Structure 1
């Protein structure tokens, strides 16, 4: 089956394309990705049939509909001038889940404002379906803002950090 990094790449490609739904099947295992859902909130999601249902369900990601509002950043500091935000990049959540700044409640946060990161630096964990997924920066620079709080629910594509290159 596909690795998490490969699934992230597929998600990025689908997000940038006009494809609304993508299904991948291999050896009886199925991965289904959707941009928009035509279900109502009361209808349950389709069950995923596989030997590893928790992993597959964690990887089944749906992007929020364009009309939905993204949650406002919770950790606010003084407003930054537009010039300071010109050279920044967002680190976005690759999945729906719970944001954790550290590997355990008593551990130190992976990154803080001012921390230098490289493309393979772990910046946080997003827990989905009892799976703890380490999120990598995928960019280089300095963390200038943390946009979510520890324990907050995050959506697919929601900005988590601002990084100045």
Structure 2
């Protein structure tokens, strides 16, 4: 079972990033945390903790896509909706980092050619830095998040123009 300190850190992360649900699996077990709503059937011995939102606080609206669409590469105009572009989505909740350290160059920038195995960014989740690969070959057309920005599971982070 996860210790109380870790649970408190998870709860703080949920509140700070306005998350409604977090599932964590590690060597010592699984934990599912959910704010508001009804408890989820945990099944399989997964502890479920339900947090009630602050009284009277309205649910937060998702961030508008236009605000997140600003490219991180230096002010290029957003790419027009092109049905041929491949969108790379965040595989987890965490913090997006364009490079391995603040003084290192970005893994990729708009115009770079990538393969499916090219590391395009890091996403930090619970103090673990996860390398995210392009999983598509082509040219980086647009970077949708800024360095240090929080990302949600499934959030679009980059668009690739296939070769």
Which of the two has greater helix per residue?
1
Residue pairs, 1:1-165, within 5 angstroms: 29-31=28-30, 37=34, 39-40=35-36, 69-72=62-65, 73-76=68-71, 77-82=76-81, 85-165=82-162
1-structure distance, mates of 2:116, 2:83: 20
Encode CA deviations 1:63-86: one digit per residue, 9 max, x unaligned: xxxx9625531525435444xx12
Kept after mapping to 1: 8 A contact 2:123/2:130: yes
Q: Which runs of 5+ in 1 are unaligned?
A: 1-21, 50-66
Q: Which sections of structure 2, spanning at least 5 residues, go unmatched?
A: 1-22, 46-59
Task: With the length of structure 2 as denominator, give the TM-score of the two structures.
Answer: 0.59
Runs of 4+ in structure 1 over 6 Å off: 22-25
Cα displacement (A) at 1:139: 0.7
Q: Does the 8 Å contact 1:101/1:123 carry over to 2?
A: yes
Q: What TM-score do the two structures reach when normalised by structure 1?
A: 0.58
- After superposition, the CA RMSD in angstroms is 3.4
Q: How many aligned residue pairs are there? A: 115
Specify the structure having the higher radius of gyration (Cα): 2
Q: Aligned partners of 2:152 and 2:108: how far apart in 1?
A: 20
